[in-house]
Amino acid sequence: MTFYVTTPIYYANSLPHLGHLYTMIVADTIARSKRQKGIETYFLTGTDEHGINIERAAQKAGRTPKEQADYVVSYYKKMTAAFGLDTAHGGYDIFMRTTEPFHYQGVSELWRRCAKAKTPKGNEAIYKGHYEGWFCAACAEYKTEDEYRKPATEGAPPTCLIHDTELDRISEDSYFFRLSDYGEALLAIYENQPDFVRPDSRRNEVMSFVRGGLQDLAISRLKTSVSWGVPVPDDPDHTMYVWFDALINYITAIGFGNEERQKAVGFEKFWPALHLVGKDILRFHAVYWPAFLLAGGVQLPKAIVAHGMWLDPNGRKMSKTLGNTIELDVLEKHFPVDAIRYFCLREMVFGQDGRFGYEGLIDRTNSDLANGLGNLSSRTLKMISLYCDGRIPTRHISEDKILLAKRSGVDTDETTVSGFIELAREQYLQQFESLNFSRALEVAWSVVARIDGIISDAKPWNLAKDDEQKQTLAAVLYRSAEALRWLSVLLFPVMPQACQEIWTQLGLSGSPGSIEPGQLTWGQLEEAKAIGEVRPIFPRIDKNKIMSEINNETEPSAARATVADAVEGAPGKTETQAPPPTQHATEADAVGVTSFIEIGDFAKVDLRVGQVLSAERIPKADKLLLLKIDVGEEQPRQVLAGIAEYYEPEKLIDRKVVVVANLKPRKLRGYESQGMVVAASIGEEGRPVIATFTEEVPNGARLK
């Protein structure tokens, strides 16, 4: 028996964030649980490295597209190592890259098969035509009329609803995939295999999308427009559409179309896969991908499971502009990996959006891990050290001591607790199998609570004072230790390090990761064996201390700025009352337009091309926006601009601007402004209009 699980391969035009980490944690957890059951498992993650967006990003950074991809991949590799998700830590089996030569080979093979295939309606699956329409490079997606915003001024291109950037007009010969012929075949699959797309809400979405009618899909670009990609077999003037090549990675990685990979991994051995995806890319995986496979005569994936998105604690979408993102380096620095894994799986109910905040993470870690599982483990083991000479105590209470034990309030029938934990195991595994991790963990914590209760009721510290109750004491501690053994096996896929630690402290050898949870039998914890060294598993996190460290480290977010302002706004501080900086022509006005300057005077002003990376409002400063601008330096500049009344911060992202780069830094509302954005000043009210470029210009270029 084998199992194959995949995360999406991530587009190598940006660095990893929480969303990427989350899907990897889920896939890693599933992979570990399968391996634990002795199932040979293959776990794929990786990067999607082709397309115009990467070509452009590379150009901007002065790199080749491959160098650009390498750069992003190096971040992914560092991230996966730091969070214990790489091969060295027992995580993924392959970090798939679509620039691998074997991938090119496999993709070409599937293309050729599709090119020869007939659709269910008897037409050619791939045909050559002419594409006329709009394309968002950032989405790597063709946009139909209801998927873009019409331009404000006539003649300008429409903008992407997601990215707000201008779309590319495409009018060129292109190969098409005859998706329109696959609607009925796809609907039949969704009907016959209700588990093919999960959860149900997503399956319904996909079905109504398909019922609405499918359009043929352009699956190539002229090489003269996009050269960074897999060439179309037998027609090198065309480059494959990036999604066509990217989706196929799931089969090329395990050997489709390449003998060496086939020998090393094995396509027939592992396919079909369980695909984990974010709901934003469900259409590609649940509609396009199965259609490509149907055309190519390849078995469909086992299932496509779409998870929700992480929102901030107030239920808002996370974004750089709102300053409410969760930073991976902050997580890495302040939190144990297992606490992050636990939180991710506990907080997001399967299929729904979840909420993620640092404070919530600290609270959960303290309540469920430090006070819950960690405390149960350390109090049990400490008492075994103290009362039982550091050896696993005897579980049975002899006939002559039963009455005494009963008098102390201890249930002398061990099957009460073993029955409870056996039932919990069944429920836990069932929920886990359905990927209802949150519910599964609730079940596991009912065991923690039950055992905690048994200890509190029995009061071992009192029993220890009575020689006659030695057996009662031993039985109570045995039950607790045995429950911990079970928990460390059950929870291993979720928290591998912590469970290994509990396992070792119980004096057990090997790993709970190789024990089949279904095979656990009550009472197999060997009596009289010495326990290991007792150490805290989850130290309590000092919330105030860690939160203040986090707040000092991260960029000022809206919420934190309010606090900062409140402190700074103390009476007598006039700085907060200062008018917003006039970022437009008013300063020039003061100089006087009639007096001439020498060219050398102008040369003193260092004007640079910049690109807005983030923009956010500053609380209680109605006119100010806080911008992060890339002016081609190592670090972006922080610039305050008095344009908040006229510009939505979100709309400024990615925009090219002109920055006065050698303006003396000044502090406003507690923020340093390291430059100035140039804008025209219009009308009496001085409405600012930001200067920009109509042609491609690299960041940092000097204006002369």
> Which residue numbers are catalytic?
17, 20, 136, 139, 160, 163, 317, 320
Considering the complex, state which of residue 19 and residue 233 has its C-beta at the smaller distance from Zn ion.
19
Contact of 47 with 9, CB cutoff 8 Å: yes
**Tokens representing residue 215 in the block:** 């359009």
Q: What's the closest the beta carbon of residue 288 comes to Zn ion, in angstroms?
A: 17
Contact of 528 with 392, CB cutoff 8 Å: yes
By the 10 Å C-beta count (0-12 exposed, 13-18 middle, 19+ buried), 63 is classed as middle
Binding to Zn ion, residues 211-240 (CB under 5 A): none
- The answer to whether residue 281 forms part of the interface with Zn ion (CB under 5 A) is no
Q: Binding segment for Zn ion among 135-143, 185-193, 459-467, 680-688 (CB under 5 A)? A: 135-143
Question: How far, in Å, CA of 262 to CA of 271, rounded?
Answer: 12
Considering the complex, state which of residue 66 and residue 163 has its C-beta at the smaller distance from Zn ion.
163
Q: Binding segment for Zn ion among 158-166, 179-187, 456-464, 633-641 (CB under 5 A)? A: 158-166
Give 694's contacts (C-beta < 8 A, 6+ positions apart): none
- The answer to whether residue 160 forms part of the interface with Zn ion (CB under 5 A) is yes
Question: How far, in Å, CA of 64 to CA of 61, rounded?
Answer: 9
The dihedral through the CA atoms of 128, 130, 133, 138 has a sign that is positive
Amino acid identity, residue 208? Answer: S
Q: What's the closest the beta carbon of residue 251 comes to Zn ion, in angstroms?
A: 27
- The answer to whether residue 52 forms part of the interface with Zn ion (CB under 5 A) is no
Among 17, 56, 60, 163, binds Zn ion (CB under 5 A): 163
Q: Binding segment for Zn ion among 130-138, 172-180, 366-374, 403-411 (CB under 5 A)? A: 130-138
- The answer to whether residue 138 forms part of the interface with Zn ion (CB under 5 A) is yes
Q: Binding segment for Zn ion among 29-37, 157-165, 312-320, 321-329 (CB under 5 A)? A: 157-165
Considering the complex, state which of residue 136 and residue 384 has its C-beta at the smaller distance from Zn ion.
136
Considering the complex, state which of residue 281 and residue 558 has its C-beta at the smaller distance from Zn ion.
281
Q: What's the closest the beta carbon of residue 436 comes to Zn ion, in angstroms?
A: 33
Q: Cβ of 173: how many Cβ atoms within 10 Å?
A: 14
CA 140 to chain CA centroid, Å, is: 19
Amino acid identity, residue 121? Answer: K
Q: In the stretch 634-663, what mask flags binding to Zn ion with x, by CB under 5 A?
A: ------------------------------
Considering the complex, state which of residue 53 and residue 378 has its C-beta at the smaller distance from Zn ion.
53
- The answer to whether residue 56 forms part of the interface with Zn ion (CB under 5 A) is no
Question: How far, in Å, CA of 177 to CA of 537, rounded?
Answer: 54
Q: Under rule CB under 5 A, how many of the chain's residues touch Zn ion? A: 6
Amino acid identity, residue 363? Answer: D
Q: Cβ of 102: how many Cβ atoms within 10 Å?
A: 18
Question: How far, in Å, CA of 506 to CA of 602, rounded?
Answer: 75
Instruction: Output the CA torsion 156→157→159→163 (10° steps).
Output: -110
Of 255, 121, 98, 281, nearest in space to 186 by CA: 121
Considering the complex, state which of residue 165 and residue 557 has its C-beta at the smaller distance from Zn ion.
165
Q: What's the closest the beta carbon of residue 52 comes to Zn ion, in angstroms?
A: 12
Among 136, 206, 218, 300, binds Zn ion (CB under 5 A): 136
Among 81, 162, 689, 691, binds Zn ion (CB under 5 A): 162
Instruction: Output the CA torsion 53→56→60→62 (10° steps).
Output: 110
Question: How far, in Å, CA of 163 to CA of 654, rounded?
Answer: 9
Among 21, 107, 139, 653, binds Zn ion (CB under 5 A): 139
Question: How far, in Å, CA of 395 to CA of 416, rounded?
Answer: 14
Considering the complex, state which of residue 159 and residue 378 has its C-beta at the smaller distance from Zn ion.
159
DSSP 3-state assignment of 172? strand
Question: How far, in Å, CA of 86 to CA of 69, rounded?
Answer: 18
Considering the complex, state which of residue 57 and residue 678 has its C-beta at the smaller distance from Zn ion.
57
Q: Binding segment for Zn ion among 155-163, 253-261, 665-673, 677-685 (CB under 5 A)? A: 155-163
Question: How far, in Å, CA of 203 to CA of 221, rounded?
Answer: 31
Interface with Zn ion (CB under 5 A): 136, 138-139, 160, 162-163
